[in-house]
Structure 1
């Protein structure tokens, strides 16, 4: 506990750490906590499960205890589940303060959230989209006086991809004061360092964990090379093996899409495995319920999309299985980080098909280590292959009968309406853009064909000239040389 005191933390916070069983500060806490207490902006990059959340919660609570007022701190996260987890850490560590917090995420009642914000909680934990909606539509609260702006999983918030937070972040940054402390944390920050440096301007302190290995030492990382068409049979065999050997183990299976997640959950339940699904197509209450049941070990298997890959701290997870090889190495790092947390052991197995070998090499290059092969008895897998394929197909047919794809389109339309856009106009615009792209592709193809024809014609003419020259040369060589007498007569 003396080590926590050396960081400059107050005695009541040290006592809270003792009660929670935190014995020694982690490297990210040792380096970042003093800098935050000094009033500096901070950017921390450390492995998953290394205590990054406590690294910003502890100094914020200490500053809040010195001068409590209104909305003191705003924490932004990319996922709803992570927002609730961060709020839990604030509540536990800030219990002696009588801390008031507020969680602002999508899928919940906006009116109730607006009432909570009007009561001026000390800490607001939010996803960017929903908070930006409140700032656009309400004037019952403001964030003009916040002292801290925290971005957890900062690289995900700042990257431009399938879920782009750029517009929402612009609204939030405009509403926040210029004089504030900005704290940025993630397990993978290197790709967006320049952007982050531009945001953090108050004597910024940068700390990154040594990059010899990007994952924790206690994690046993394996790959299993499988043909694409028999992947599910290998998955069922893996789960059965772990369940037979360790009944109390918890497993997270990551998938690429919501539909695959739902189908796999239905399939595993048909095989009597205690599984539950978690993906963005579920209602928010169902998502919380699924996560709570998994955390409390009511269900031992969680099948999830990447909404569960970032930040979630579930200490009892022993196994992570990647049903698909992640397209980006940093997604892999966050996924496997759900196990082997806080010094515990864990195993991560990635199912690699014949089309994913280049992705495996990219992952190995990023984490700076080679994944080991995981051995499986193929004869056992072949015995269940037909049964698994039949059950999988039955589950797909059953899911199609529930109009799962139509619900996805309905959700997209709802999202467009919430953003103030007309879904029909957007559909027409997309169709017109598709036509323009098609015309552009056709034009490019015609240009390429024309250029290829011209090139072929030039080559043909060149070959013809070369042949004519060779023929003339042969003719000259075949003509007899004139005799010396003929030369004299000619003279």
Structure 2
């Protein structure tokens, strides 16, 4: 299908086109051109395209059009791997669906279950949810049903089907009707998505962006080579170097763990780079507040784990820094996709140690692009190394390790319960392993 189409050519109703124009969406993107007609014609759909390509509206517009023809609740279920992405998707549905008095709800962890249960009882048209919290409601609350849904959407489907959510998805799928349209969207098609072709009962429309380079053309991708113990100092110097050229550009920094994310946030605040942190150990209301501060340019730096790498529409990010390199190359694509959006230019810098070289080779092979060196002053790194190292150690002391660890253990116990394991036995195994590790090293932070 030609991508030179209007929304009217795709079969989209005029009222939806007017709503799109109000938010500045006038011309459909390639994934919208290729998927909307198929969805309107009742086909299941698997769609894959670069991040920032308009995937959400590719499924939201046809769902809202079908809803307007036969309005009832619960009409569609949208599953997504992260809480922030759930709220973002719900916002887009709300804006377009305003004309038909759309009722929607967001069901995610970190919020009051009683309130959410009441919302589900009211039968909203659209339910946007993360798998864990929805599975909790299905098992504990019998005041709603998903048996009447017309559409099931899995956004960032490769992540949802990657194994981490298998138990929760089994619970959810037992509560879904056999007859429904299933829509799967992602930035990348994986083996899990390939297998879906033969599983779904309906005719399946499959569309994947044909771009060989999976990261956008206007994204400049660099690396900074660092000794392992100087990674934080090189991070600070990379920010300083960028700030010497761009004083106002928004920066997103990705790291590996919740603890590291919090420590880097405290450290950067101490050395003069105001920032907010976004990770799973932060309360949900605080996560939304931090994201709102960053989106509104009140704070220019966001430190995050991969909870922020998927699908979040964060406008005008100038620089993405990988403080640690992801183990899975495709996660790199999702991370750097936070910049160079909507035709803008962007910059990505990955701080690599000798241990990361093989990971970088795998990433370069996947994206079809060689990363080039980003020049920072080794002399200036040497001058700030002690300050940054001491500041991070002090941050570790300031971090209330007890509370932080307790929150982590609560989440672990919940996961063990969902997996059908005895949480007391698993906790004992965990602490025994913890003690063995502690004995095996001279210093344990």
Give the TM-score range, shorter chain: over 0.9
Contact 1:42–1:200, Cα closer than 8 Å, also in 2: no
Contact 1:221–1:372, Cα closer than 8 Å, also in 2: yes
State the alpha-carbon separation in 2 of the partners of residues 419 and 214 from structure 1: 35
Contact 1:52–1:185, Cα closer than 8 Å, also in 2: yes
Contact 2:168–2:418, Cα closer than 8 Å, also in 1: no
CA deviation after TM superposition for structure 1 residue 318, in Å = 1.0
Question: 2:205 maps to which residue?
Answer: 205
Local SS of the residue matching 1:282: coil
Pick aligned residue for 1:86 from 86, 89, 93: 89
Question: 1:3 maps to which residue?
Answer: 6
Pick aligned residue for 2:139 from 131, 136, 143: 136
Q: Output aligned runs, 1:93-108, within 5 Å.
A: 93-108=96-111
Question: 1:120 maps to which residue?
Answer: 123
1:27 aligns to 2:30 (yes or no): yes
Contact 2:5–2:28, Cα closer than 8 Å, also in 1: no
What does the per-residue CA deviation read over 1:103-135, in whole Å, with 9 as the maximum and x for residues that have no partner?
111111111111101111000000111111111
State the alpha-carbon separation in 2 of the partners of residues 401 and 430 from structure 1: 17
1:323 aligns to 2:320 (yes or no): no
Local SS of the residue matching 1:424: helix
State the alpha-carbon separation in 1 of the partners of residues 92 and 401 from structure 2: 42
State the alpha-carbon separation in 2 of the partners of residues 241 and 23 from structure 1: 38
CA deviation after TM superposition for structure 1 residue 168, in Å = 1.2
Instruction: Mark the CA change 1:232 to 1:338 in structure 2 (over 3 Å): closer, same or farther.
Output: same
Q: Output aligned runs, 1:346-385, within 5 Å.
A: 346-385=346-385
State the alpha-carbon separation in 1 of the partners of residues 308 and 401 from structure 2: 27
What does the per-residue CA deviation read over 1:368-402, in whole Å, with 9 as the maximum and x for residues that have no partner?
11112111121122111111111111112222555
Contact 2:81–2:160, Cα closer than 8 Å, also in 1: yes
State the alpha-carbon separation in 2 of the partners of residues 219 and 79 from structure 1: 25
Question: 2:160 maps to which residue?
Answer: 157
More off after superposition, 279-288 vs 43-52: 279-288
1:243 aligns to 2:243 (yes or no): yes
Question: 1:64 maps to which residue?
Answer: 67
TM-score by length of 2: 0.93
CA deviation after TM superposition for structure 1 residue 199, in Å = 3.9
Contact 2:43–2:205, Cα closer than 8 Å, also in 1: yes
CA deviation after TM superposition for structure 1 residue 414, in Å = 4.8
Contact 2:5–2:33, Cα closer than 8 Å, also in 1: no
How large is the Cα RMSD of the aligned pairs?
Answer: 1.9
Local SS of the residue matching 1:303: strand
State the alpha-carbon separation in 1 of the partners of residues 71 and 367 from structure 2: 42
Question: 2:175 maps to which residue?
Answer: 175
Q: Output aligned runs, 1:39-50, within 5 Å.
A: 39-50=42-53
Local SS of the residue matching 1:94: helix
Local SS of the residue matching 2:7: helix
Pick aligned residue for 1:18 from 16, 21, 24: 21
More off after superposition, 187-196 vs 222-231: 187-196
Unaligned runs of 5+ in 1: 435-491
State the alpha-carbon separation in 2 of the partners of residues 356 and 429 from structure 1: 31
CA deviation after TM superposition for structure 1 residue 430, in Å = 6.4
Tell me which structure has the larger Cα radius of gyration. Answer: 1
TM-score by length of 1: 0.84
Local SS of the residue matching 1:64: helix
